[in-house]
Chains A and B, each alone.
Chain A
Amino acid sequence: MAEVKLTNVVKRYGSVEVVHGIDLEIAHNEFVVLVGPSGCGKSTTLRMIAGLEEISDGEIKIGETVVNNLPPRKRNISMVFQNYALYPHMTVSENLGFSLKIAGKSGAEISAAVANAAEILGLGDLLERTPAELSGGQRQRVAMGRAIVRHPDVFLFDEPLSNLDAKLRTQMRVEIKKLHQKIKTTIVYVTHDQVEAMTLADRIVIMKDGHIVQVGTPLDVFERPVDTFVAAFIGSPPMNLINGHIEADHVVFSDGNRLPVPPDFTGKLADGRQVVFGFRADVLMPKGHTLAESGVVTDLDLKIDFAEPLGSESILLSTLGGKEIQARMHNPRPVNEGEVLTCELHLEKCHIFDASSTKNLRE
């Protein structure tokens, strides 16, 4: 049983503060992913949980214990590092069994645990090799095996897949998900890749510049981003965001185009207010190439700059309000450059953000 609780956790390097008072509660057996652009303080936060970095201020609890001043070895955690951090002078089986050996477990116990971990991760044939004799994917697996032999309270992963090629990354992602289902444990997982975050997480924690911007389930953060940063960061392709101002319940863009505000905003926004209009490619579809969906729809004529066929659908690129925007075309047909298509925009799924604070006005 181990929840992890961060209360107002601060990290300073000298006079530079890089993590600014983070609050986060992670439930027992929950898979939480910290995601954010490079340099936003994800690793630092994870390393503070691990005990590899001291906490400048605040409190971290694992289970019922305040661990602020406990060394890593007293926290009963496992960690998988970005560069695997295997022990180069030990064989795979020694790598796997090292923590148990340090813990003073008997030889029989160690071999059983190693065999079990090797079985789960398919490392059986590699046990006598050294890390130098393994491929990247195999090293990655050993690093995971080393983490699971020990039945820790919490697993910590720091970008464990970022050194793998795209195919292997997808494969290992699935394996990590399966692993979590098999050995229910609290997991804190760091990545800069929003796809990894979306696919793995029970809950996503989005960070920016040492702050937590939003915490929620993958669907939460996808459908209800709190600000334009999250809206642009989560989802692929990223949300279309166009600056404009309010005029009689319409958003007017710099190029003179205008769109009605979503129904729940009708009558609520003062004329002249500067806003950002946001919608995903998924809710803008050419007529005749939509998904059968009801709702409030407005039509929009768009000159298509070009199309990216993906097979089952195409992504259309166009321009609106001086910004490049993307639309989704289901059951695609070839589209000529410069062709004008009438598109349907599902208004209830659109967002209005305040232009200066960038906050979602729906929250």
Chain B
Amino acid sequence: MSKFSRAIRDHAVPLALIAPSILVILVVVLLPLMFSFYTSFTNYRLIRPDTLWDWIGLRNYQRLLADWDFWVAFGRTILFLTVALNLELLFGLGLALLVNKITWGQRTLRTIMMFPMMFSPILVGFQFKYVFNDTIGLVNNALQSLGLTEFAIPFLVDRWLAFFSISFAEIWMSTSIFAILILAGLFAMPKDPIEAARVDGCSNWQVFRHITLPFLMPFIFIAMTIRSLDVARAYDVVDVMTGGGPAQRTELLWTLIARTAYDDARMGRANAMAYASILLSIFFTWYFFRKLMDARKHLGAF
């Protein structure tokens, strides 16, 4: 009997027990992954199934390198990510510090703080689409009836205003993730080093800067990791609010990829884009995770 078959016989029961989950992973994850990866090397178009066998090598990827629209969307996604993450951090930190100060009604506030997370992103998209709409929108109506502006402001049409609008929606929806993780950090934070720092001569700001913030960094990086993955695949809110338009002014990677795949039916090309953009996600995850590990290293004694 060979070594291999003996190993199988010896571990028959455990193998039999994990076999179903391995099977599920194979079917649900690995096969589609391999299939989509394969199609990124073909001229596969959804409306012509036979093109699945049309092997074109690296041509999709080569074309991508020269595809201006793709790189603009790529850059805009990075900008979107930077703006959203930084502002969410800032607001989340402020919110957490505030809630942490409040002693009365804190539980209720904490619950209220989580409301935006309870809505489906699609609904958040619709909500803000109507908030920012230039004819019937809430903001425009309010501004005009207050006499602050004569004309309707094209929130969802102008290049930068539209970018502002989708950022606003994204930030509104997800600031609470930062707030809650940072609040958890504040709850876990020991009082002693803070008091030591106050005795050592720190003002409140210096205590925050030198003691509190370093302690919160791991929590912030956890939020950053989660949110960078989230924002890098942003689609629903944007698609509902602007659909990447008008004239691709708010096009992000995934609105572009979805359009290429389903509207233009160029599945092979879209998959190539998708694989290129996954690199972005991997980069951010890796980056924040490394930061997290660095920040955590010394916190053993807290």
Contacts and interface: CB of A to CB of B under 8 A. Distances in A.
Contacts of A72: 195, 198-199
Interface in B184-220: 190, 192-193, 195-203, 206, 210-211, 214-215
Contacts, number: 79
B298 interface: yes
Contact of A102 (B190, B206, B302): B206
B202 to A, nearest CB: 6
A79 interface: yes
Contacts of B210: 87, 98, 102
A52 to B, nearest CB: 5
Contacts of B214: 89
A177 B152 CA distance: 78
Contact of B195 (A81, A86, A102, A139): A81
A86 B199 contact: no
A77 B196 CA distance: 11
A51 B195 CA distance: 10
Nearest to B300: A132
B196 A132 contact: no
A51 B196 CA distance: 11
Contacts of B300: 88, 132
Contact of B199 (A73, A83, A84): A73
B198 A71 contact: yes
Interface in A122-162: 130-132, 134, 139, 146, 150, 156
A50 interface: yes
B196 A73 contact: no
B200 A86 contact: no
A52 B198 contact: yes
B201 A103 contact: yes
Contact of B202 (A84, A85, A102, A132): A102
A79 B192 CA distance: 11
A214 interface: no
A125 B301 CA distance: 19
Contacts of B206: 102
Interface residues of A, number: 30
Interface residues of B, number: 22
Contacts of A88: 193, 215, 298-302
Contact of A99 (B193, B201, B211): B201
A83 B192 contact: yes
B155 to A, nearest CB: 43
B298 A85 contact: no
Contact of A87 (B199, B201, B211): B211
Interface string A74-104: 0001110101111111100000001100110
A78 B198 CA distance: 10
B193 to A, nearest CB: 5
B198 A85 contact: no
A87 B198 contact: no
Interface in A264-304: none
A79 B203 contact: no
A90 B215 CA distance: 11
A89 B197 CA distance: 13
B116 to A, nearest CB: 32
A73 B202 contact: yes
Contact of A79 (B190, B193, B199, B298): B199
A259 B211 CA distance: 64
B192 A89 contact: no
B193 A102 contact: no
Nearest to B215: A89
Interface string A156-176: 100000000000000000000
A286 B302 CA distance: 55
A86 B197 CA distance: 9
A81 B196 CA distance: 8
Given A79-B199, A87-B211, A88-B215, 13 more contacts: A73-B200, A79-B195, A84-B192, A88-B301, A88-B302, A89-B298, A90-B298, A98-B197, A98-B200, A98-B210, A102-B210, A130-B298, A146-B200
Interface of B: 190, 192-193, 195-203, 206, 210-211, 214-215, 298-302
The 8 closest A-B pairs by CB, nearest first: A85-B192, A132-B300, A99-B200, A131-B301, A85-B196, A132-B301, A88-B301, A73-B201
16 contacts: A52-B195, A52-B199, A71-B203, A77-B199, A79-B195, A81-B196, A85-B190, A85-B195, A86-B193, A86-B301, A87-B196, A88-B300, A90-B298, A99-B201, A102-B202, A131-B298
Interface of A: 50-52, 71-73, 77-79, 81, 83-90, 98-99, 102-103, 130-132, 134, 139, 146, 150, 156
